[in-house]
């Protein structure tokens, strides 16, 4: 199986062949995957060098002429470093584009904190109108990238990761999907967290929703799921900063008593290298850590 | 000058004026009539108050902007949405009074918008907003965004097979402090973006100056460069029209120092 990034390069290269409105902007990261596309479309595959402010500014300029730019680099250099460019060169100018990140929260743990961006979606949440896709499998990434490319002048962020679920699930680029039904609470698993959530909630009487499009937040889907459950107890398990979506769940359930537990990556810098699994465990996002937090939060009505 | 009178703006969509502000000098044309001349721009600028802090920034650009809009740019109120129009991006959004005066003089919006400058109901902010003002290509104010956007605009036009439109961006010598400009000018030179033009208004306001000169930054990045007196209309015109095949072009317009 290819990685999400490899799929991004192959799918987007095909989309460039099909849609003359699309353009790819790179900043030295991911260039090899677009070598063929750059030969076929030299004026719509632009590598600006290691210049991330320019990466976003050029995207904004392309959009001002009517093109749909797809900008790509690691999340920390795509969203965090040029954040004001994202805010002004897209939002304030009133133009759209697609940001496709790699690296996620700790895809390259031995690379250290400089290459970790657990706060990317929290930052985008300070802005208006960004659609956010968090695929959990390369096949889902392909579907969501196609949605993003075709989404008119929308502003879309697609968060790719090496953390994946074993099998793809159908995704529609809009709402949450019910994967398991129960009566003792609702657990929302975002993208690559699904497999660990399913393992952690084995035998618990909870509904599991799978979320790959997290903005706009599927409030109706969550309300429907909690309506079917006995109590509005909600756990959100996100592969980025813990609590990022808690506010959205609270707003979705503001007319009824509810509790929300937000699980995800902690703020504290671990100053550890190692492997992805070790970072998942350190943040309590492995099946054991999740089981402990979720079982302690939902009503004790476990078992069959 | 104060503006105690109630001011009702012309609606951009309909062009119908319901009330003309009482404080517009009677001699100035308030609607499409005879052309407004350069000599009348100070009177237009004096209609805008409340941003005196940026007065020097405003007047520094006046001649350079006028020559561009009067003799060089192929854009008019009727072509603000034409894909083949020339683009002018005001990156140095501080002190936009000269810019607004020139746009009003050229009929992009009515002169009677000017006295509302900076007020809640006015489309004319102390930094321009492209969503509110006809003919304004970018919203600016935060320094260092215009040149990267202009690079993207030039790339976008090229990718769509539109070699006709020229792309112009105006920055200030102090704005050049922003690192994003250096990302953009280095790349533009390397990419040979010959439809891109940067107009640098140099009023010696950069805190640490530019040792070796501003022109050298552009030259070493592969740009064509002309340095001229920013008050000399004929020199500006010549510099704007200098041929620069295969290279982007920078015009450094030197004006009196801001703090002189």
Q: What is the domain-level CATH number for residue A134?
A: 3.40.50.970
List Cβ neighbours of B94 (8 Å cut-off, separation of 6 or more).
Answer: B54, B57, B126, B127, B141, B143, B172
| Residue A230 pLDDT class (50, 70, 90 cuts) | low
| B161 in a structural domain | yes
Among residues of chain B, what percentage have pLDDT more than 70?
A: 86
B12 pLDDT higher than 80: no
Domain count, chain A: 2
- Kindly state the helix (H) or strand (E) to which residue B185 belongs, with its residue range: helix B179-191
- Kindly state the helix (H) or strand (E) to which residue B197 belongs, with its residue range: strand B196-202
Widest CA span in chain B: 54
Could you tell me if A192 and A135 lie in one domain?
no
Structural domain span for residue A209:
177-297
CATH number at residue A248: 3.40.50.920
Interface test with B, best of A47, A54, A81, A89 (most B CBs within 10 A): A54
| A88 in a structural domain | yes
Domain count, chain B: 1
| B53 in a structural domain | yes
Contacts of A48 in chain B (CB under 8 A): 183, 187
Rg value, chain A, Cα:
19
pLDDT in tens, B218-254: 999 999 999 999 999 999 999 999 999 999 999 999 9
Nearest to residue B96, comparing CAs of B149, B70, B135, B147? B135
Mark yes or no for CB contact A59/B183 under 8 Å: no
Residues B84-104 have a mean pLDDT of 96
B223 within 8 A of B185, measured Cβ to Cβ: yes
d(C-alpha B141, C-alpha B31), whole Å: 29
B98 within 8 A of B65, measured Cβ to Cβ: yes
Q: How far is A226 from chain B (nearest CA, A)?
A: 41
pLDDT in tens, A34-49: 999 999 999 999 999 9
Structural domain span for residue B101:
38-254
Could you tell me if A41 and A106 lie in one domain?
yes
Could you tell me if A16 and A153 lie in one domain?
yes
CATH number at residue B66: 3.40.50.970
A176 within 8 A of A209, measured Cβ to Cβ: yes
Output the CA–CA distances (angstroms, integers) from residue A303 to A184, A205, A299, B154, in the order listed: 11, 7, 12, 63
B27 pLDDT higher than 70: no
d(C-alpha A167, C-alpha A6), whole Å: 17
pLDDT in tens, A53-108: 999 999 999 999 999 999 999 999 999 999 999 999 999 999 999 999 999 999 99
Nearest to residue A144, comparing CAs of A168, A123, A119, A171? A171
Check residue B34 and give its pLDDT: 81
Could you tell me if A12 and A39 lie in one domain?
yes
Contacts of B190 in chain A (CB under 8 A): 49
- Kindly state the helix (H) or strand (E) to which residue B41 belongs, with its residue range: helix B41-45
d(C-alpha B249, C-alpha B24), whole Å: 39
| CB contact B114 to A (< 8 Å) | no
Could you tell me if A205 and A288 lie in one domain?
yes
Residues A222-250 have a mean pLDDT of 91
B207 pLDDT higher than 50: yes
Contacts of A94 in chain B (CB under 8 A): 130-131
Could you tell me if A197 and A290 lie in one domain?
yes
């Amino acid at each position: 199986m290819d990685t999400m990034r490899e799929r991004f390069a192959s799918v987007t290269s095909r989309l460039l062949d099909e849609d003359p409105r699309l353009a790819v902007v790179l900043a030295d990261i991911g260039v090899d995957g677009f070598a063929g596309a750059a030969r076929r479309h030299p004026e719509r595959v632009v590598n600006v060098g290691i210049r991330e402010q320019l990466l976003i500014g050029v995207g904004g300029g392309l959009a001002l002429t009517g093109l749909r730019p797809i900008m790509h680099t690691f999340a920390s250099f795509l969203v965090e470093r040029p954040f004001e460019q994202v805010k002004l060169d897209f939002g304030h100018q009133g133009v759209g584009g697609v940001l496709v990140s790699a690296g996620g929260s700790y895809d390259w743990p031995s690379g250290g904190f400089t290459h970790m961006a657990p706060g990317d979606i929290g930052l985008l949440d300070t802005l208006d109108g960004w659609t956010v896709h968090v695929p959990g499998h390369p096949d889902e990434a392909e579907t969501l990238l196609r949605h993003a490319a075709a989404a008119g002048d929308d502003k879309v962020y697609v968060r790719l990761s090496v953390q994946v679920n074993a099998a793809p699930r159908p995704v529609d680029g809009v709402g949450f999907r019910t994967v398991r039904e129960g009566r003792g609470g609702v657990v929302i698993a975002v993208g690559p967290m699904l497999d660990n959530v399913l393992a952690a909630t084995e035998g618990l009487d909870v509904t599991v929703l799978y979320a790959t499009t997290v903005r706009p937040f599927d409030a109706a889907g969550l309300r429907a799921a909690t309506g079917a459950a006995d109590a509005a107890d909600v756990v959100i398990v996100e592969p980025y900063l813990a609590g990022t979506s808690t506010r959205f769940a609270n707003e979705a359930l503001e007319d009824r008593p509810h509790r929300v537990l937000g699980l995800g990556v902690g703020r504290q810098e671990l100053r550890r290298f190692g492997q992805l699994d070790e970072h998942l465990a350190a943040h309590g996002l492995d099946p054991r850590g999740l089981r402990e937090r979720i079982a302690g939060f939902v009503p004790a009505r476990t078992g069959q | 000058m104060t503006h105690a009178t109630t001011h009702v703006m012309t609606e951009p969509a309909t062009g119908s004026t319901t009330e003309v502000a009482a404080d517009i000098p009677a001699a100035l044309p308030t609607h499409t009539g005879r052309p407004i001349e350069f000599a009348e721009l100070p009177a237009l600028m004096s209609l805008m108050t409340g941003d005196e802090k940026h007065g020097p920034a405003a007047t520094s650009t006046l001649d350079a902007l006028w020559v561009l809009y009067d003799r060089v740019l192929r854009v008019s109120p009727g072509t603000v949405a034409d894909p083949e129009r020339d683009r002018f991006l005001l990156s140095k959004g501080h002190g936009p009074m000269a810019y607004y005066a020139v746009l009003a003089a050229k009929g992009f919006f009515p002169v009677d918008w000017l006295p509302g400058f900076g007020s809640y109901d006015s489309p004319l902010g102390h930094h321009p907003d492209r969503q509110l003002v006809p003919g304004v290509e970018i919203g600016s104010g935060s320094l260092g965004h215009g040149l990267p956007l202009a690079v993207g605009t030039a790339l976008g036009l090229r990718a769509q097979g539109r070699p006709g439109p020229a792309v112009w961006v105006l920055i200030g010598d102090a704005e050049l402090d922003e690192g994003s400009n250096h990302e953009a000018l280095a790349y533009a030179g390397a990419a040979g973006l010959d439809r891109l033009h940067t107009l640098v208004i140099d009023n010696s306001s950069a805190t640490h100056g530019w040792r070796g000169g501003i022109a050298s930054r552009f030259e070493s990045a592969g740009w064509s460069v002309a340095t001229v007196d920013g008050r000399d209309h004929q020199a500006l015109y010549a510099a704007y029209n200098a041929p620069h095949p295969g290279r982007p072009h920078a015009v450094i317009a030197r004006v009196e120092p801001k703090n002189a």
